[in-house]
Amino acid sequence: MVRARRVPPHRLVLITLTAGLAAFGLSTPVVVGSEPVDAPSSPAAPLQTEYTYNAAVETFTADRAQAVRRIDSARADIAAAELAWQASSATIGESAARTELRRQVDGGLSRVDHAVRELDRANTTSDFSLASAEHFISRPDLATQTAVLAGIRFDQATDLADLQRSLTASERVVAEAVAAWHVEQARLAVEEAARVEAARAAVEQAARSAAAQGPGVGRPAGATTSVSFSKLVWTAGWQSEIDACQGAVDIGAHYGVPVIAEHWSCGGSRFPREGSTITLGGAAGGIYRVGSVAAVLNVATDTADDVPRGFDLLYQTCINGSSATMSFTELTRIG
């Protein structure tokens, strides 16, 4: 019987290790003193390079889209702030609140411009469709493209994230100032209405008192005691003719109703009381009976539409020289 040949144990181990290295594509151990052998490149290397490049493209695309959204959002916020700035001009004017909002809007516009230029540079840098002598001697490989994409930043667009907060804060200050202005105007309007009503009541009370006391008492303070009165309507016109203080002025063309007017200090304070007869000469010549005060208007709140209608003629003067108490006295033609 033939015996099997025995192989030393260390020999089996060496064979097993060599086979294992070959199976994994790795180089066998190099014997000391022999020539080095180049290791073959791994077939996974190109796949890894492509994977890294694709990941860089995905990251760049997402970052660029985020930058575009931030720019668009900033533009919308700036447009809203600009409208708030313009709308507040008629109320709070050149206030500190509007000045600060203007500064925020202008600063935002500058920041958006920088972000847009940054975006344009990124688009140009990431365009690998043609070789660029400025950046590359020849068309770059995937590894180079990956490095280029990884180096692109959108810092200017990222900085726009806090723009909305600053604009909103400034808009709120302006809105509060505008609201305060409206509250103050409402308060002043209530006070003015009360003052006008008080003046109207005082004029009516003076007229009633004069009628009750009989001849000799004028309608307003200092009015003439004459029952018969003459006045010249020296011309037709408007403010400059009234300011000339040469007599009453026919201003009916401006109101659309027949009205003569003169300043309180130029004859208005001496106009006769209700029930008197007045003879007018000149532009609105005739004989009239003086009636009651038809209205007391305020130049700051009333318009020509508020002037009373339906009378033969009205006499306008500012009681005590105040444009807030413009009285309109009825005149009825009797001759």
Sketch the domain layout of the chain as residue ranges. 47-183, 216-333
Strand partners, 317: 327
Positive or negative torsion for Cα 228, 234, 237, 240: negative
User: Whose CA is closest to 201, among 310, 86, 325?
Assistant: 325
Contact 307, 259 (CB under 8 A): yes
Strand partners, 280: 231, 286
Q: From the centroid of its chain, how far is CA 290?
A: 53
Count the Cβ atoms, other than its own, within 10 Å of residue 287: 15
Q: Taking the domain 216-333, which CATH number applies?
A: 2.40.260
Separation of alpha carbons 276 and 334, rounded Å = 12
Q: What is the pLDDT along the chain (335 residues), one digit of tens a residue?
A: 444 444 444 332 333 333 332 333 333 333 333 344 444 556 677 788 889 999 999 999 999 999 999 999 999 999 999 999 999 998 888 899 999 999 999 999 999 999 999 999 999 988 877 655 555 555 568 888 999 999 999 999 999 989 989 999 999 999 999 999 889 888 887 887 777 677 667 666 765 665 566 544 444 444 434 456 888 898 899 999 998 898 899 998 989 999 999 999 888 888 888 888 998 888 778 899 999 999 999 988 888 889 999 999 999 999 988 888 899 999 999 97
Count the Cβ atoms, other than its own, within 10 Å of residue 307: 21
| Residue positions counted in the chain | 335
Distances in Å between the Cα of 5 and the Cα atoms of 2, 17, 24 are 9, 22, 30
CA-CA-CA-CA dihedral for 135, 136, 141, 144, to nearest 10: -40
Which DSSP state fits 262? -
Distances in Å between the Cα of 134 and the Cα atoms of 137, 140, 151, 208, 299 are 8, 12, 16, 98, 73
Q: From the centroid of its chain, how far is CA 185?
A: 20
* Angle at 54 (CA atoms; ends 50, 58), nearest 5 degrees: 170
